Structure 1
């Protein structure tokens, strides 16, 4: 039985302390190493995107075509190199407006970004690759949301010339991303890039991460934060306009700069100790519980092999509701040149107001949280 199917069918394994796991077979490190093509460690998906731009030798005045529904920090590696982030419109199910995408390509386009949202394969992945191939433009596959998601038994992020996946969104690690290269392998392998690799010793940030995990296990912080949020929701103190403001340039660049580093020592040493099933099974169980508990349909059905990042559902007012549910958030927080541009990117701006991402890391919490969502 392949590992992704086993993870889909496995019951939830007991939760173990962060550094008290015995090495399973296969481990997360094994799964990543066995992916098609070559793989390289780095500190974040944004750092991986910067490495790709350097490998493509992207110059100022050129452009990368990508969906309008991306977080604000994603485009900062492009801006840092002087490359234009050129957005295409998306559909309500986070597919691509293929006609608009094709129209955005020109002779200065160096790449097309294909995004897999929330751990689910893009419904238009093949069509996007075809559009890019017709224009002779490489595809960069962004699977930042779910490192172990493998519908049809292939890791998302590994189906194009370049691809990357973030680790900390679904794994109990402080940082990290994996850059996958297929046909463009030599373009990265021959580069001695300062953002690639692994730190050679533990850092203060590693220690802080472990301390935070220990503290979380010693107190029921999720329950306390949820009750606190509910009490403040009633008096209106959570409805500050500041929470929904458009990110300013310095802020979005700061999130990028903080992620520009090789993978931490702690993440690298955790990957061989983590079982894929121990990560995937509880997330799938939580997703199924959300599907049953809510009187609303998620954006995606839970197909075999999928490791969901969050449970995405459309509501009337996602930012307000997110403040009442521990671990939830409105998504995405759009780049400054997309946010508020309703005429140019209507669906992306609608989703920023209505798309609620609900947590799937603790199945036992779903019933209580679902009662808040309604």
Structure 2
């Protein structure tokens, strides 16, 4: 079985503080030593940043520092429904702009939604790749004196050859550590503009918890239980059903999900990011991405969202498009791929507006497959070969 998320137990069993293998490290002339933990990686690319429990809380503090109540913020329509909850809390109006099938912004539509009360524009690096049109958004922000927010929730370790570390392109930026590491929370707010960095005053949502908590213990227990169940196939289905039936249900409304993340980053997440090896994580995710790509890049019924994997990009998932998403999900589940799903859950305001038809279609057709670092690439290859034999 391929699990949806990286394993804390597997990370703890394999983490020994060693330096990256020569095959995965990039060394210029012997004078450069690649970072061996995520915190060192962040320090290498960013001067000013703060930790948070979630990307939405990081976004909340970032916008609070640069926008005033009554202003509006331009955001892409193709976004999960809860992302704009921090804007509502701050008295800001989200104005959603349309995107193309390529995920690039429709610049004419974006400009038509701006006025003299526009304070910021958000770009999104979908699935860990730089958003097509990122440069155009940055130029528009500069021309109109808008704050550019670089939403890099998906690509904490992605370094683009043109833009550098994704998340540090705008005046402020965010990234979500928990989407890449085997932890339950964790995010970063980058203050890339020196003037913003000098005046920034974080809320009590910023920082790291003073000690380990019951939530840390609960995450550890859940992670370990998942690993044990995966290794005991006979008990897997029944035990998972029991756990699901006795677990508290996740908040279904966007505001409830946002409110539940309003805590500083956990001590457990801090512990992991100071010991997790970014070079190895990037290499493993890229290998798994390419293994899936070998299956889907030439199929007539499924189209990869991205034609290639550029150097330096750390993919969050492997995204594909298909008009038969449910059929593909059933096939993947049959072969033991856990966690594949369509993305994202759109806001009601977007679903009810025909102007965002492209976002509607993408949300129905894009299926994301796990590529995280605790998947054995040989397992992906074996499943890929089985699927190829079964469907031709």
User: What's the TM-score once normalised by structure 1's chain length?
Assistant: 0.83
| Residue 213 of structure 2 is aligned to residue 203 of structure 1 | yes
Deviation string, structure 1 residues 83-116 (Cα, Å, up to 9, x no partner)? 1110000010111101111111111111000100
Paired position in structure 2 for 1:89: 98
Question: Matched residues in 2 for 1:203 and 1:345: separation?
Answer: 42
1:257 positional shift: 0.8
Deviation string, structure 1 residues 134-182 (Cα, Å, up to 9, x no partner)? 1110100000002101121821000111001000111112111011111
Contact 2:325 2:365 in 1 (8 A): yes
Paired position in structure 1 for 2:305: 299
Compared CA separation, residues 120 and 285, structure 1 to 2 (3 A):
same
Paired position in structure 1 for 2:25: none
**Paired residues, what number?**
338
Contact 1:39 1:180 in 2 (8 A): yes
Deviation string, structure 1 residues 225-253 (Cα, Å, up to 9, x no partner)? 9999xxxxxxxxxxxxxxxxxxxx97111
Q: Which structure 1 residue ranges, 5 or more long, are not aligned?
A: 1-14, 229-248
Paired position in structure 2 for 1:143: 152
Which 10-residue stretch deviates more, 207-216 or 345-354? Answer: 207-216
Which of 97, 106, 110 is the aligned partner of 1:101? Answer: 110
Contact 2:346 2:363 in 1 (8 A): yes
Deviation string, structure 1 residues 194-215 (Cα, Å, up to 9, x no partner)? 1111000001111111122222
Contact 2:74 2:110 in 1 (8 A): yes
Contact 2:152 2:166 in 1 (8 A): yes
1:132 positional shift: 1.4
Compared CA separation, residues 276 and 252, structure 1 to 2 (3 A):
same
Paired position in structure 2 for 1:352: 363
Paired position in structure 2 for 1:121: 130
Question: Matched residues in 2 for 1:66 and 1:38: separation?
Answer: 24
Paired position in structure 1 for 2:247: none
Paired position in structure 2 for 1:336: 348
Paired position in structure 1 for 2:274: 272
Contact 1:38 1:185 in 2 (8 A): no
Question: Matched residues in 1 for 2:235 and 2:73: separation?
Answer: 40
| Residue 120 of structure 2 is aligned to residue 111 of structure 1 | yes
Contact 1:66 1:88 in 2 (8 A): yes
Secondary structure of 1:50's counterpart equals: helix
Compared CA separation, residues 31 and 189, structure 1 to 2 (3 A):
farther
Which of 166, 169, 179 is the aligned partner of 1:169? Answer: 179
Question: Matched residues in 1 for 2:346 and 2:305: separation?
Answer: 19
Deviation string, structure 1 residues 117-140 (Cα, Å, up to 9, x no partner)? 000011111011111111110100
Contact 2:67 2:120 in 1 (8 A): no
Which 10-residue stretch deviates more, 73-82 or 19-28? Answer: 19-28
Compared CA separation, residues 189 and 214, structure 1 to 2 (3 A):
farther
Compared CA separation, residues 26 and 107, structure 1 to 2 (3 A):
same
Contact 1:56 1:187 in 2 (8 A): no
Contact 2:65 2:196 in 1 (8 A): no
Q: Which structure 2 residue ranges, 5 or more long, are not aligned?
A: 1-8, 20-34, 239-250
1:184 positional shift: 4.8
1:224 positional shift: 8.1
User: What's the TM-score once normalised by structure 2's chain length?
Assistant: 0.80
Contact 1:18 1:172 in 2 (8 A): no
Question: Matched residues in 2 for 1:223 and 1:133: separation?
Answer: 56
Secondary structure of 1:273's counterpart equals: coil
Paired position in structure 2 for 1:240: none
Paired position in structure 2 for 1:366: 380
Paired position in structure 2 for 1:232: none
Superposition RMSD in Å? 2.5
Superposed, 1:1-374 pairs within 5 Å as: 16-18=10-12, 21-23=15-17, 24=19, 25-59=35-69, 61-152=70-161, 154-184=164-194, 186-187=196-197, 190-220=200-230, 251-294=253-296, 295=299, 296-300=302-306, 301-319=308-326, 321-322=328-329, 324=333, 325-341=337-353, 343-361=354-372, 362=375, 363-367=377-381, 370=384
